Structure 1
Amino acid sequence: MVLQDGGQSCDATFGRIGETDRSKEYEGPIRFGSYTLDPKDISGGIEKAIQRNIILRQDWGLYRVPLKPQEGTNMDTRGEFFLHGGFFPGSAGCIDIGTNDRVLFPLLMQHEGLINVEVIQRKRYDILFPNGRQNFNT
């Protein structure tokens, strides 16, 4: 995953580890296509992290933000997707950037207006990034 203006990158996991079927709701990787995120919709911080991660026993990391599909993105039977952090690799179909959320989200919160996110197909390097980890570079 690469931030175009900052040139920074971080590993991300998409969906449950080992699951490749993008049509599987709450398991498969996020659908290819165009999304937007609104920095105003970012939620998180230590109180939310305690609630989500410890009390609710979910793995959202410190921050999350919804990804809204744009026209032409085939959602099929899939519902909402998020960009979020986490303490363990994998998600229910979202883009999970692990503990990199501590660096990325403060940058996103400084941005004015919507941010475009493109999920595109690239060659997977299973030998370099085993267990479903994918690293995309532009």
Structure 2
Amino acid sequence: MARETLAHEGDTDIPYKANTDVQVAGMLSYYILSGGHHPFGDKSYKCEGNIYEGKYTLDHVEDVVAKDLIEWMINKEPMNRPKVEECLRHPFFWTPERKVEYLRRTGNRDEVANCRKADKELCPPELVQKMDAKNKAYPDNTLGLLRFIRNLHEH
């Protein structure tokens, strides 16, 4: 049950809202992706209280993109939840081609093109070595990685 449904338990006249379904869909998505866990807790006697309080954990799912979508969907406040159309446009549902295209376009932005001047937000050294073993044309940071992806697909 969504939070607002719990808040009005006993009322027979709760108006239907699409964002109520979005929260439930987020819970179901987590259940499927986690192999049977509930984001608000696996103990039924605590689950409803956690839903009402907005206390959840997404520890059983490793995919950060999936976590981002689920967290948005299960937001405690109904007005802060995405609409169904927004859910379907989330990067979790992007094709691999669209993800690469996004990275390629991001790698084309001016601030990424100037990646050598960026703060050092380090990538794993093994990855940097694999992508640029001899030339050291890309700095060891996220922007350098984006620029590498862009160049890989452009050339």
TM-score when normalising by structure 2: 0.20
Could you state the TM-score of these two structures normalised by the residue count of structure 1? 0.22
Decide which structure has greater helix share.
Answer: 2
Higher relative contact order (CA 8 A, sep 6+): 1
Q: By percentage of residues, which structure has more strand?
A: 1
- Greater gyration radius: 2
